[in-house]
Structure 1
């Protein structure tokens, strides 16, 4: 029975083995004590090359998954750089995390996305820049602004004031970090292609911590284990900014891919399979058609029935009288 790649990856992940069978030989081996750094580096390079050779078996699937503006060459170059940090992860989890990343058209270079190890499971994590990238691709926003306000910078927020006086911020990149002071607020807004500006989302540190404590399973696991190695531990400010972007995504028109990105990140945080949320060509086409139909249905409901036009004096059609003499 023929199954899709998505089904095969799901089944392999549930079994804890890769689609090509057990973990690659030597992939999980430790360098023996007493060996030199050169030998350790050689083992690491061999393991990386072995995984790359295995991943290239699925190059056609990556070609199909990546959007037209991205090629497999730059994508695999970023993958090669991240593989040494995923040594203990199962091949199946590596494949599903990387394919999920490709489906969203993001490069796992630490800028747009990160592939990280949680135990023996590789997980795809989009950065706040990845969310911004998908906002631009939606074609509905002209520019996206996401920044930190530091305590020694000038800013004001007065929602009742007319635009653009309702929110102002004067960053001071000329100052050192110490001179700018600690960050006090993260904010995000976008300017729409049709003109105008979205709502401004502001989050203070306490807001970010509440989001972390309520929604991040990865943070809770890292706290309970004592590892303290979640992104909330290691890159708090980036997660703070991403929380602002994700809250902005709820109040502006967005694409199906952007909503799916949030769902995939939440699934990874909860230790679930992410690829089930990633778009593919067929699903994206169906969703786009459904969205067009939905917008058309809404437009038809908003249209007020207009009376038939009445002709001018020339050729004016007189109203017909009914048989009972009533008009």
Structure 2
């Protein structure tokens, strides 16, 4: 981050609110966002949705802004709204190589359904979870038959299975079902089985697991195929991005130097150049630390200082500790 940007952070307390800073950053990128969105979707609405999700998730606020923006762009390319009706999620992950938090776009089960229906060949897709106190009968064969009557007089008990029915334009249909034990086997193979939507939105993840299996029998558009590839890559602990009509997948230990976003200026710059600037801006950074007027500004400066050599970082840390005592004692 440039010394001018650091000075702006140190003197403008409003910018210390990460949600305000993130909204300002997105506003500066509105033209790029509008270019990625389908004509029927508004960049202003997408920004509101993204900021709502950003405000609700403190871990997401720790992610590199460009990774969050990139995830929003991917959702926009597919025409999926973030956090609305389970269409798409912004999920924070740790990049082990860079020891940083990055955001990853993940399609929700309703997002996959929306993409399947856009083919024009699928008229409807319905998924339901069957619980132990429900009445359920499934007969498979040439003429499959399914009866499901939810229990309405109290606790429905534990989930037993999930099923879905896709109806096609030509009058045909496809029925798919999975036991919860089969769903849990899929979950166990996921690198995010103990966090993210598997914890916060379990039922939706159960339904999405079924939709992914059903997709083998559905008309496959480029958008649906890309969303499924991203979802499967993330489950395998990999990072996936949509590049045009293709999905690029990488491992953490193969992650290239990425762009860097300055939340204060909205400027997107090459990270290598940013690192080189940090290496030679020790004096400017030390001066800014010594003049800081808030603890929040000090914390941001220390984040910037992590790219410095250890000897310089230690000196910056000591100066920040001294300045923090002054600020808190004022």
Long gaps (5+) in structure 1:
1-19, 30-38, 220-227, 281-327
Between Structure 1 and Structure 2, the one with more strand by share is 2
4+ aligned runs moved over 6 Å, structure 1: none
Long gaps (5+) in structure 2:
95-100, 247-330
Give the structure 2 partner of residue 187 of structure 1: 163
The farther-off stretch of 153-162 and 188-197 is: 153-162
CA gap of 1:21–1:104, structure 2 versus 1, over 3 A, is farther
CA gap of 1:72–1:151, structure 2 versus 1, over 3 A, is same
CA gap of 1:244–1:99, structure 2 versus 1, over 3 A, is same
Q: How far did residue 43 of structure 1 move?
A: 7.0
* RMSD of aligned Cα (Å): 2.8
Q: How far did residue 272 of structure 1 move?
A: 4.1
Give the structure 2 partner of residue 131 of structure 1: 112
Give the structure 1 partner of residue 73 of structure 2: 99
What TM-score results when the alignment is normalised by the length of structure 2? 0.63
Give the structure 2 partner of residue 210 of structure 1: 185
Counterpart secondary structure, 1:218: coil
Counterpart secondary structure, 2:104: strand
1:202-253: CA deviation from partner (whole Å, max 9, x where unpaired): 1111101111223x1223xxxxxxxx42332333322111110100001222
Give the structure 1 partner of residue 234 of structure 2: 268
1:62-88: CA deviation from partner (whole Å, max 9, x where unpaired): 112111221112111101112232211
Give the structure 2 partner of residue 170 of structure 1: 149
Residue among 28, 35, 43 paired with 1:57? 28
- Contact 1:261/1:278, CA 8 A, preserved across alignment: no
What TM-score results when the alignment is normalised by the length of structure 1? 0.64
Could you tell me how far apart the structure 2 residues matched to 1:92 and 1:271 are?
20
Q: Which has the higher contact order (CA 8 A, sep 6+)?
A: 2
Q: How far did residue 57 of structure 1 move?
A: 2.7
CA gap of 1:240–1:73, structure 2 versus 1, over 3 A, is same
State which structure, 1 or 2, has the greater radius of gyration over its C-alpha atoms. 1
Counterpart secondary structure, 1:73: helix
Residue among 38, 49, 56 paired with 1:67? 38
- Contact 2:116/2:218, CA 8 A, preserved across alignment: no
